[in-house]
Chain A
Amino acid sequence: MSRTITIEPVTRIEGHARITLQLGEDGRLEDARFHLTQFRGFEKFCEGRPYREMPALTARTCGICPVSHIIASNKACDHLLAVDIPPTGEKLRRVMNLAQIVQSHALSFFHLSSPDLLLGWDSDPATRNIFGVMRQNPELARDGIRLRQIGQTIIETLGGKKIHPTWVVPGGVSEPLSVEKRESMLRLLPEGLEIAKRTYAFYKTLVPKFKDEATHFGTQPTLFLSLVTPQGHLEHYDGVLRVKDAQGRILEDQVPPEEYGRLIGEAVEDFSYMKFPYYKPQGYPQGIYRVGPLARLNNVQACGTPYADVALAEFHMLQDSGPIVSSFHYHYARLVEIIYGLEMIERLLKDPAILDTRVRARARSNRYEGIGVAEAPRGTLMHHYRIDDDGLITWLNLVIATGHNNLAMNQSIREVAEAYVDGNAIEEGMLNRVEAVIRCYDPCLSCASHAFGQMPLAIELRDAAGRVVDRLTR
């Protein structure tokens, strides 16, 4: 008899999700699916609101990466204003965006994934958690707390608070940086970089132990999408879109972010509230691509900061040639980006121009349509607004980093389940690996639950025995 295994909730991720594994009569995997079970509705309830409210409203999408939404939303508003923001305003936004990436990556690596990496996938689930990590490696746990605190403190110093700061505004930022604040942030960076380097060195010693997981955790070929600088270097705030394939061929390059709709289509399925974006030229569902740290590092020749460039070269050596295809190496890429983020923050803060007082361009709306794109910790984040003559939102679309990875995550859990799950003798460690491949992507599901067109809905009426007696779908 065929069976369904349900993993619910998926643990140590942001938000609520379920995984179902459909097994055939022989106990072998027939299908695997990742379900986002929560629904929100920002695309609908933001309609009719003034566009200037969008940064504050859409930031509420997420308590982990509000800064990413604030940045992308304000960039969309800049586009509506049709202004170039002052260079110092842009630099200050970059600092905040990078601090967000540092703190979010630290949370993912130290708090959510390190229990698997340190204690093992087959270890006792009762102790396979952050307390287990504290017992085994307290220095690592302390480093994780401190690194996240450094990122959060930089956000708070700039924005006045850690969560949902309102300092980034359409046209730039609301206040210039004081000397005192700059110095207080600069003082944090040497310790942060020391922690990042120490953790990176430690993780490199762990990587060889995970050869098996690295060969089964999401190694199916996909495309990679990210922003890059016009020169092809690492970029998290601005730049142009690049798409590379699994063989390293560049399929799209120098694409202005405003043209994202030329590259990306969006589909929906009836088993999840997460959209299924795909690469349009390859169609749905063939056009699978990945975003986030793995994609960003695969897409660039250089980071542009000293230590991160060394780490990037080592990252590229994880494989003999071509882009790094295993999603397991998202962890590695995250650590490289933490180093980059701290180095780049230091560079930006040491630039004398960071103290310039012209930080905001002022204008009324000069366009009916605005698109803002930035790199969030989990990948490329797109905000797209249309407004009327009164500046009220008539339509919006949010393409969320985690959503881009939806097709790839579904593909990855299928791959891992095929490799590890034996339906005739299920063990906890097998199922934990299925969860762990999802953690590689560090999905943020509160962010990723978004509407597109008419969301599919199914209502089932079951009798006392659980038999479906009626089913309504739309």
Chain B
Amino acid sequence: MDKTLIIGYGSPIRGDDAIGPLAVERLVERGLPAGVEAIARHVLTAELVTELVGRERAIFLDAAAGGEPGAVQVHRLEPDADAHSTMAHFLDPSELLAWCRQLYGQAPEAYLITATGACFDYAHCQLSPVAEAALERLLEQVERVWVG
């Protein structure tokens, strides 16, 4: 099992919401270093817990809806002990980490890297220019984090 797991998530048909999965696509195309695995998902589901357990580091990639479009931010995540999902097929990263800790006694060191989108309309299958430009900056941040 690779030490680092990157999970990019979002809808591919909701404009800039696709930035997480597209970032994963780009990373895989360019080639991942040894010890790093990257996967894309529409949403975060409970089964990802078993993918996270045993990893040293997890990097979540997502679009953000608030703030200046194009802004890229890196957040350190902790398991959210207060989280409780009512929809078990849609979780947030901190909740997933809490599931890891609660069920398996461990959770990886985790980061959330976001790029603020400009357009989340339905049936948009391309990134907006501002999100497209942010994608490269997001990838730079991913490399910084996985280098540690």
| A→B interface (CB under 8 Å) | 11-12, 14, 63-64, 107, 111-112, 129-131, 134-135, 138, 141-142, 144-146, 148-149, 152, 163
Contacts and interface: CB of A to CB of B under 8 A. Distances in A.
24 contacts: A11-B86, A63-B89, A107-B88, A107-B89, A111-B46, A111-B88, A112-B88, A129-B84, A130-B84, A130-B85, A130-B88, A131-B83, A131-B84, A134-B99, A134-B102, A134-B103, A135-B102, A141-B103, A145-B46, A145-B49, A145-B103, A149-B47, A149-B50, A152-B45
Contacts of A111: 46, 88
A138 B103 contact: yes
**Interface range on chain B (Cβ under 8 Å from partner):** 10 to 19
A289 to B, nearest CB: 28
Interface string B59-98: 0000000000000000000000001111111000000001
Contacts of A152: 45, 47
A131 B50 contact: no
Nearest to A112: B88
For chain A, what secondary structure do more than half of its interface residues adopt (helix, strand, loop), or is it mixed? helix
B86 A12 contact: yes
Nearest to A138: B103
Contacts of A130: 84-85, 88
Interface in B10-69: 42-43, 45-47, 49-50
A259 to B, nearest CB: 35
A459 B42 CA distance: 36
A148 B86 contact: no
Contacts of A142: 103-104
A148 B89 CA distance: 11
Contacts of B49: 145
A130 B86 CA distance: 8
Contacts of A11: 86
Contacts of B42: 63, 163
Nearest to A153: B47
A137 to B, nearest CB: 11
Given A112-B88, A131-B98, 5 more contacts: A130-B84, A131-B84, A134-B102, A141-B102, A141-B103
Contacts of A144: 46
Contacts of A64: 89
B46 A148 contact: yes
B22 to A, nearest CB: 16
B102 A138 contact: yes
B146 to A, nearest CB: 25
A182 to B, nearest CB: 22
A129 B87 CA distance: 10
B53 to A, nearest CB: 10
A138 B50 CA distance: 14
Contacts of B85: 129-130
A63 B87 CA distance: 12
Contacts of A131: 83-84, 98, 102
Given A145-B50, A152-B47, A163-B42, A129 B86 contact: yes
A154 B35 CA distance: 26
B49 to A, nearest CB: 6
B84 A148 contact: no
Interface string B104-124: 100000000000000000000
B88 A146 contact: no
A141 B85 CA distance: 14
B88 to A, nearest CB: 3
A104 B99 CA distance: 20
Contacts of B43: 63
A217 to B, nearest CB: 21
Contacts of B99: 134, 145
B39 to A, nearest CB: 11
B86 to A, nearest CB: 5
Contacts of B103: 134, 138, 141-142, 145
Best-buried of B47, B50, B104 by chain A (most CB within 10 Å): B47
A146 B87 CA distance: 17
Contacts of B45: 148, 152
A141 B83 CA distance: 16
A148 B47 contact: yes
Nearest to B83: A131
Contacts of B104: 142
A149 to B, nearest CB: 4
Contacts of A135: 102
A402 B83 CA distance: 29
B94 to A, nearest CB: 13
